[in-house]
Each structure stands twice: as C-alpha cells, then as structure tokens.
Amino acid sequence: MPVVLEHLGKRFGDGAPVLDDVNASIAKGEFVALLGASGCGKSTLLNIIAGLDQPTSGALEVPSDGAAFMFQDSALFPWLTARGNIELALQLAEKNSGKAGSKAARSARATELLELVHLGGAGDKRPHELSGGMRQRVALARSLAQDRQLLLMDEPFAALDAITRDLLHDELERIWKETDRTIVFVTHNVREAVRLGQRVLLLSSRPGRVVAEWDVTEEHRTDAGRAGELTATITRRLRQEIRRHAN
C-alpha cells in the first residue's frame, strides 16, 4: 500500500483538533477522491501525506520518495514558457534523485509530457498567454515531470468553467490509466468525486475523520442513472455532515 493512515490526528497549537482518528489505506494505482465540506481539513491531510506537515498523533506510511502535488492555482513561473516550467520540474526531479540527465533528454521528455496533456503546440507560450484550462494542463504535466508514483491533487479544477472541467476530467482519467499513478484527489464537488474516483472517502468536519466511503463501480461509469443515484446518496450524506457542523 503506498499510503496507510492509522489513527491520524492533527491539531495546530492548542486549538481544537482539525483531524482526529483518520484511518485509510490507498492501494497502488488507485484513484481516490477525498470529499468534504470547506474547512474540514482536506488540505491539511494532503499536506501531511505529502510530508509538508507532521501529524500530532497516529502513524502514516507514505512512499519514501514523497509525492507530486498539484494545486487549484497552477502556480507556474510566469517568466518561463510552458515548456520551461516543465523542464525546470524535470531538472529538479533529477537533482532530487541524484541522476543528472542531458538537456536534450529533458527537452524530449518535456515534448512527450506536453503531448500527453494535449499541449503539443503551446510549449513556447508563457502562462499569461494560456487559458485557465491550459495552465492547469501545464501544471499537470509539471506534476507528472516530478516522476513520483503518488500524485496529490488539491481541488485542481475548482476555478475552471464546467465545460473545461469536464474536458480535463476525461484527460485526467486517460492520463491516470496511461501512467499508472496512485492519485488522491481532493474536492468538495460530489459529481467530480464520482466522475473521477474509484473510491470516494467522505471527511467529516471538526474534527475531520473518514466517516463514510463508497466504491464507484463500472456500472456507475457506464450508466448515468446509477451515477446520478450515487451522487444523490453522497450529497445527502455530505449535507448531513455540513448540518451537523452548523448546529
């Protein structure tokens, strides 16, 4: 298992716990959607899995080489082209692994990654010349350039319009299948969680804890009616969590 969380807890200073007794196992190659209301601790949990923050209790197993991360904001360097942003990530990945590669090899790999995210013709553009969806595609290519098996995605498509988001869902699914990554995808959008995840984990609020999970089966993928029923069931459960927290 690339990720195992056991009785994980997190509190900041002497405040109330943000996460409490979080338990989950994520298998290699699995696509897990982590769903929860705003402020329930999803980003905190991702930061802990990424090794950017430490839990205050419990134990976790994560890959020894860490994880690649993708955020809501593409966070591209504005002075570099799309290709330059990807090549820089490739250079950093080489530095981290201690294996220096040639400039030509990095350029060839950047070309492959640009093609993988369907940006073959836009490598020489700077971020401000790209649409929001294209910038997120570059960010996805850059996170793949980090060459880690585990990819953590924190609401990467939340700021995009619905049509662009749907397109990127199709692309991410294709890329996940082609690259065999393990993906943990944080969202507060139930439809997105059901569209992408093989499994949906629901995190409660204050404290955050995995309170329910659902398998998304082949039947849900091929039958829009079944997917709609599952989305409605999860939405009801999410609303309960939000109401419980509001009382």
Nearer residue to ligand ATP within complex by CB, 44 or 136:
44
Query: Which of 3, 5, 8, 18 forms a contact with ligand ATP (CB under 6 A)?
Result: 18
209 binds ligand ATP (CB under 6 A): no
Binding map of ligand ATP across residues 132-171, x = CB under 6 A, - = no contact? ----------------------------------------
Shortest Cβ distance from residue 246 to ligand ATP (Å)? 14
In angstroms, rounded to a whole number, what is the distance separating the alpha carbons of residues 83 and 60?
35
24 binds ligand ATP (CB under 6 A): no
44 binds ligand ATP (CB under 6 A): yes
Query: Which of 41, 123, 127, 207 forms a contact with ligand ATP (CB under 6 A)?
Result: 41
Shortest Cβ distance from residue 236 to ligand ATP (Å)? 19
Stretch that binds ligand ATP, among 40-48, 76-84, 171-179, 192-200 (CB under 6 A): 40-48
Window 47-106: residues binding ligand ATP (CB under 6 A): none
Nearer residue to ligand ATP within complex by CB, 70 or 175:
70
Binding map of ligand ATP across residues 184-203, x = CB under 6 A, - = no contact? ----x---------------
Query: Which of 36, 123, 127, 197 forms a contact with ligand ATP (CB under 6 A)?
Result: 36
In angstroms, rounded to a whole number, what is the distance separating the alpha carbons of residues 57 and 59?
7
Shortest Cβ distance from residue 20 to ligand ATP (Å)? 12
42 binds ligand ATP (CB under 6 A): yes
Shortest Cβ distance from residue 224 to ligand ATP (Å)? 27
Query: Is beta strand 57-61 parallel, antiparallel or unpaired with respect to 199-203?
Result: unpaired
What separation in angstroms does the CA of 114 have from each of 85, 120, 121?
Answer: 11, 5, 8
Q: What is the 3-state secondary structure (H, E, C) of the chain?
A: CCEEEEEEEECCCCCCCCEEEEEEEECCCCEEEEEECCCCCHHHHHHHHHCCCCCCEEEEECCCCCCEEECCCCCCCCCCCHHHHHHHHHHHHHHHHCCCCCHHHHHHHHHHHHHHCCCCCCCCCCHHHCCHHHHHHHHHHHHHHCCCCEEEEECCCCCCCHHHHHHHHHHHHHHHHHHCCEEEEEECCHHHHHHHCCEEEEECCCCECEEEEEECCHHHHHCHHHHHHHHHHHHHHHHHHHHHHHC
Nearer residue to ligand ATP within complex by CB, 125 or 206:
206
Rule CB under 6 A: which residues touch ligand ATP? 12, 18, 36, 38-44, 188
